[in-house]
Amino acid sequence: MLYVKAPAKINLTLDVLHKRPDNYHEIEMIMTTVDLSDRIGLMGTAKGIHIQSADRFVPNDSRNLAYQAAQLIKDTFNIKTGVIISLDKKIPVAAGLAGGSSDAAATLKGLNKLWQLNLSLDELAELGAKIGSDVSFCVYGGTALAKGRGEIIQQLPTPPNCWVILAKPTIGVSTADVYGAFDVATAEHPNTQAMMQALEDGDYDAMCANLGNALESVTLKLYPEVAHIKDQMKKFGADAVLMSGSGPTVFGLVYQEARIPRIYNGLRGFCSEVYAVRLIGEREPLA
């Protein structure tokens, strides 16, 4: 069995610029990885693609992005043998943390090694773009500016070291509904350039000051539970708080480790899925 780590991501910024002729939205966002990871196990078999997971919310068929990644590799390179994909899930499902996309990226990287394809990260990221908008970023990992549909990746410096508190309410968010209610003209757009400068300077305070997510106001209106978590995380002492992706997970940045127990325990009082992790922010090597 070959094992590959699949880390979660958070959005330091997320901006939606306009709707494209292909009906996708043109986006511009800065993402970074955190130390909350799924573990993907890959084992060759005679034929077929088989998904194994103890998580009942994880589909075991072609709806699963890891399955799609394996199918894409098989079709593209005419691979006749099959694979068993074991998903040890730690990242919450449908949380705005790119868990499914990261699983797909890890599957691409793992199968590249298992089937001795010798593809580069760039080639794997190009394949990943065919699966989903966050998969290319997840192939590279680290910290990056993503543009287009998410497939145009520019590596950025690693953020200043800090803790990240993640809290996911027990609700699902419809990304389609969030984008459907989004209005480019009235949205509050983050300052992507200012965040890039903060990362360049290694300036923690500037990074906190320039967190921004254009989708956040829409999700907060549609799902008051997300707004409640954000308010409470601020109240308990996080330095800066933002929703990741289209939600529903909210994250807080915390520089002083001594503050973690109060924030973590306060959120656990009404939210079952709470995690205290570190930023990774550095690129993962090829499997």
96 in a labelled binding site: yes
Omega prior to 248 cis, within 30 of 0: yes
* Pair 123, 190 in one domain: no
- The catalytic position among 9, 74, 89, 168 is 9
- The catalytic position among 134, 168, 230, 239 is 134
* Pair 18, 94 in one domain: yes
In the predicted model, what is the mean pLDDT of residues 199-204?
98
> Is residue 203 annotated as part of the catalytic site, yes or no?
no
2 in a labelled binding site: no
* Pair 29, 136 in one domain: yes
- The residue among 150, 138, 133, 153 whose CA lies nearest residue 104 is 138
Which of 155, 174, 209 is the endpoint of a domain? 155
* Pair 14, 144 in one domain: yes
User: Any residues with CB less than 8 A from the CB of 29 and at least 6 apart, and which?
Assistant: 11, 13, 14, 15, 145, 146, 150, 192
How many domains does the chain divide into?
Answer: 2
* Pair 173, 137 in one domain: no
pLDDT above 90 covers a percentage of the chain that reads 87
pLDDT band at 70 (very low <50, low <70, confident <90, very high): very high
Which of 155, 173, 208 is the endpoint of a domain? 155
* Pair 262, 221 in one domain: yes
98 in a labelled binding site: yes
Question: Is residue 286 a part of any domain in this protein?
Answer: no
pLDDT band at 213 (very low <50, low <70, confident <90, very high): very high
Question: Is residue 218 a part of any domain in this protein?
Answer: yes
224 in a labelled binding site: no
State the pTM of this model. Answer: 0.95
* Pair 148, 170 in one domain: no
Chain-centroid distance of CA 115 in Å reads 26
- CATH code for the domain in which residue 230 is found: 3.30.70.890
Q: What is the pLDDT of residue 86?
A: 98
Q: What is the pLDDT of residue 8?
A: 97
Which of 155, 183, 200 is the endpoint of a domain? 155
Query: How far apart (Å, rounded) are the C-alpha atoms in residues 268 and 275?
Result: 9
> Is residue 9 annotated as part of the catalytic site, yes or no?
yes
Question: Is residue 70 a part of any domain in this protein?
Answer: yes
